[in-house]
Structures are given as structure tokens and as C-alpha cells.
Amino acid sequence: MPNINNLCLFAASPVDLDVAGKVPSALPTSGEPLPGSAPEMLRSFAMHGGRYTEAADLAAALGKESTGGQWNSGLALLRKNGLVEVSGKRLRVTLLIGG
């Protein structure tokens, strides 16, 4: 009888792994809330349900400039913590969060 610990019932193909993308970095464990404009930005990204959206459109909806210091600081913090993915000028909440 085979050892159940050695059985593999399914596996991801190389294509599946490419689609899945990189595993985000670990989230901070300090329990501290996100500072500055990051929480407001994250809520806005999450409302788009994992779809990529133009940075300028999201910034305008929040009354910010997509090239401003507040925007760049908030985005850098969200990216550093693996909460937002960037593709060119388009952004989306990380799929592990947004579904």
C-alpha cells in the first residue's frame, strides 16, 4: 500500500504557475494600521474587484494626482506589502485579497 504522504493528487503546470504570478511578500505583523493615504487607496483598489485600472482614474476618484507625493508614498507602501500589483500605469488589488 502506498504511503499517503507521497501521493500527489494534482499539480500546477508551468502555465498555471505563470498565471498565478509571484507570491506577495509577507504582510507586516506589527498590527499597525497603514499610514497616510494608503488605506483610502487600498479601499479604492479593492472596489474594482481585482481588475486592472488606470492609476490616473483611481487617483482622480480620490481627488489626488497620480504623480503626487501622497499618491507615490501610498502606492509604494501598498506595493511593498504585497497589497497592490502594478502593470505599467495600471493597478489592481492583489488577487489574494480581491478575489
Domains annotated on the chain, with CATH: 36-99 (1.10.10.10)
Res 65: pLDDT: 85
Residue 8 has pLDDT above 60, yes or no: no
- Whether the model pTM is above 0.85: no
Residue with cell 487607496: 41
Sheet strands side by side (includes 90-93): 53-54, 90-93, 84-87
Res 36: pLDDT: 79
| Nearest-angstrom CA–CA distance, 90 and 54 | 4
Distance from chain centroid for Cα 12 = 22
